[in-house]
Structure 1
């Protein structure tokens, strides 16, 4: 089982899908496991890449979950902050970067 957010009462998107269709949630989890097993990136690199995507789409739940997973894989708060700052001026403006930095500090600070 993967760790989730440090936030109390956190419900992941996958948990919400599971409430409606356990079969779809199980299939999605299987897909994610297959994707994680593909290629040469280690767990820390994969999680940092995912954080960039979650920041770019302003997906707070996914970002928080994967902050925790990134830390478990060896990423530091500074690593996550750098990933967020790399998005500044490429995919994100200042406000979403500040928002993602806040999420990272909540989870890892």
Structure 2
């Protein structure tokens, strides 16, 4: 497995380099990242649990290390994190099931000549 804390430091350093080369790109990302906080409808812990589930579905190691630290900082328990990950696992399985139905539809279309 990764050394998640070192990876986070290295990643943030590289993102800093990108920020120097393309400041508007990183500023735009930061604006998107902070947008949800402004509504106040979800608390920080809930947003971080969602972020972890999305990090799994998008396969983003950087997101995992950043949002794990933030989730823990905001009081997320191991059980809450596991439950959020269970949602991600179910959605990935559900997406595979939906796309499997699409494959079967494509099979039928090809067989029918459509």
User: TM (normalized to structure 2)?
Assistant: 0.63
Kindly indicate which of the two structures has a greater share of residues assigned to helix: 2
Q: How does 1:53-92 map to 2 (within 5 A)?
A: 53-92=54-93
Unaligned runs of 5+ in 2: 95-114
Secondary structure, aligned partner of 2:6: coil
User: Does the 8 Å CA contact 1:51/1:63 hold for their aligned counterparts?
Assistant: yes
CA shift for structure 1 position 87: 2.3
Structure 2 CA distance for aligned equivalents of residues 7 and 84 of structure 1 = 23
Structure 1 CA distance for aligned equivalents of residues 83 and 17 of structure 2 = 30
CA shift for structure 1 position 80: 1.2
CA shift for structure 1 position 42: 0.3
Structure 2 CA distance for aligned equivalents of residues 87 and 19 of structure 1 = 34
In angstroms, what is the RMSD of aligned CA positions? 2.4
Q: Between Structure 1 and Structure 2, how many residues are aligned?
A: 89
